[in-house]
Amino acid sequence: MKNNALFLIQSPYCNLDKIWNELVQMAQPDDHIVIMGDATLSIPAAVLGRSPHLYCLTNEQTLLADEAREYINPIDYAAFADLVLQFARCITLK
């Protein structure tokens, strides 16, 4: 996974449209994406259907819309730390 990127999506809700557009333009299908905070509240179908590697923290899983839950893999903090260590490139979109 050293050639792939890890995207951390941590944008405030008012900025999400811009962030999701940037992500769709930047991310490759084999990149991994962790959706955090307000970003869990509104995930467009273009993002859900594009990447098989979508994650959110387990304590934020209740914020996900029902239709998004089947696409998102919940991870705890230890798994999040392990995931981050697998990548040479980490991109944060705020």
All domains in the chain, ordered by first residue: 5-93 (3.40.1260.10)
Mean pLDDT on 7-18: 94
66 token code pair: 């029902």
| Structural contact between residues 5 and 87, judged by C-beta atoms closer than 8 angstroms | yes
Torsion over CA of 9, 14, 15 and 16, rounded to 10 degrees? 50
For residue 1, pLDDT beyond 70 = no
| Structural contact between residues 41 and 13, judged by C-beta atoms closer than 8 angstroms | yes
Q: How far is Cα of residue 8 from the mean position of the Cα atoms in its chain? A: 6
pLDDT value at position 46? 87
For residue 54, pLDDT beyond 70 = yes
**CA–CA distance, 47 with 37 (Å, rounded to integer):** 16
5 token code pair: 């990127």
| Structural contact between residues 36 and 7, judged by C-beta atoms closer than 8 angstroms | no
pLDDT band at 49 (very low <50, low <70, confident <90, very high): confident
Mean pLDDT on 40-68: 93
pLDDT for 57-94, tens place per residue?
Answer: 999 999 999 999 999 999 999 999 999 999 999 999 99
Residue 10 vs residue 3, higher pLDDT: 10
